[in-house]
Amino acid sequence: MTGANDRRDALIIGAATGVFGAAFGVLAGSTGLGVAKTMAISLLVFTGASQFAAVGVVATGGNQVTAVASALLLAARNGFYGIALAEHVRARFLRRAAAAQLVIDESTALALAQPDPADRERAFLACGLSVFTFWNLGTLLGVVGGEAVGDPAALGLDAAFPAGFIALAAPAFGHRRGLVAALVGGTVALVTTPLVRPGVPILLASVGAVVALAVRPATGGSGAGDGSGERR
């Protein structure tokens, strides 16, 4: 992949995620977080699914501990992305520490999709910076515009939270383990919602999804169980 293609793909991905950043800004503002706190979350946390989860917990009456725990569980995957990318980011400590902020689903996927190892760092940085920029611009526009709108439900923007969350999670549905994790998490949330305090179902659903991802299916002697051919 050439540098021009890297930049083009990074801009397209960034612009698309910026739309969800705006949805996050509107919804975060509607919970009373305000512009400063909403922007701090997007700038410092910068992982869409976790941000949506935390705001969703707060919006449904959950406490801050549950909101943070849910966000941390969903963000844990970025640690594994970092391990996969470590050998491709050739830099000293401070630059690598700064680059760690850009380790997200999109930048990891674009980087590891490059057939030439020399292109992976460039693709990672281009995509990470693009998404970071557009996501935070979208968040700013969303929270400022949301304050002008008032009640997001008046324009149907309350539907943006579940729609945005599903869209961010959708890439995981393309393989069997991701789909199983989604089904387990959804089932746990549905079962526990009438039984526990607001915010707890999403935390329990996150735990259930993580457990489902951690359990590898039995493959038998030929390795045909998950189509990978790998013996475990």
How does pLDDT run across 23-74, given as a tens digit for each residue? Answer: 889 888 888 888 999 999 999 999 888 888 888 788 777 778 878 887 887 7
Range list of H helices, the chain: 3-30, 34-44, 48-59, 64-75, 77-85, 93-100, 105-112, 117-149, 160-169, 176-192, 200-214
Radius of gyration for the chain, computed over Cα atoms and rounded to the nearest angstrom = 19
Domain ranges in the chain?
3-170, 175-217
Over residues 82-97, the mean pLDDT reads: 85
Which has more pLDDT, 152 or 136?
136
